[in-house]
């Protein structure tokens, strides 16, 4: 996932969440980058949705820092796309 994001101009550390209330989400984090509508639009263009399954918008950041949860691109999981 990290290589996929970088190839599309997004620098972030991804982590797939397998359990809990954010199950089946990716956590994307970069403490050195601010969250912006431009970043949300890039993620939308790549086919991601927010944790609730809606398009990303300016409110999906965490206090202005690039720290968000997205759904999509399960094919990038190490297991070859197995989501559970």
pLDDT tens digit sequence for 22-42: 999 999 999 999 999 999 999
What pLDDT is attached to residue 83? 55
Determine the pLDDT at residue 62: 85
Q: What is the 3-state secondary structure (H, E, C) of the chain?
A: CHHHHHHCCCCCEEEEECCCCCCCEEEEEEEEEECCHHHHHHHHHCCCEECCCCCCCHHHCECCEEEEEEECCHHHCCCCCCCC
Domain boundaries of the chain, sorted by first residue: 2-76
Report if pTM > 0.85: yes
Average pLDDT, the chain: 91
């Amino acid at each position: 996932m990290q290589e996929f994001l970088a190839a599309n101009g997004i620098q972030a550390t991804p982590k797939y969440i397998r359990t809990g209330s954010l199950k089946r989400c990716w956590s994307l984090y970069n403490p050195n980058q601010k969250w912006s509508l431009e970043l949300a639009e890039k993620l939308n263009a790549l086919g991601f949705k927010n944790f609730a399954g809606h398009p990303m918008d300016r409110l999906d950041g965490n206090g202005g820092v690039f720290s968000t949860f997205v759904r999509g691109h399960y094919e990038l999981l190490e297991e070859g796309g197995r989501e559970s």
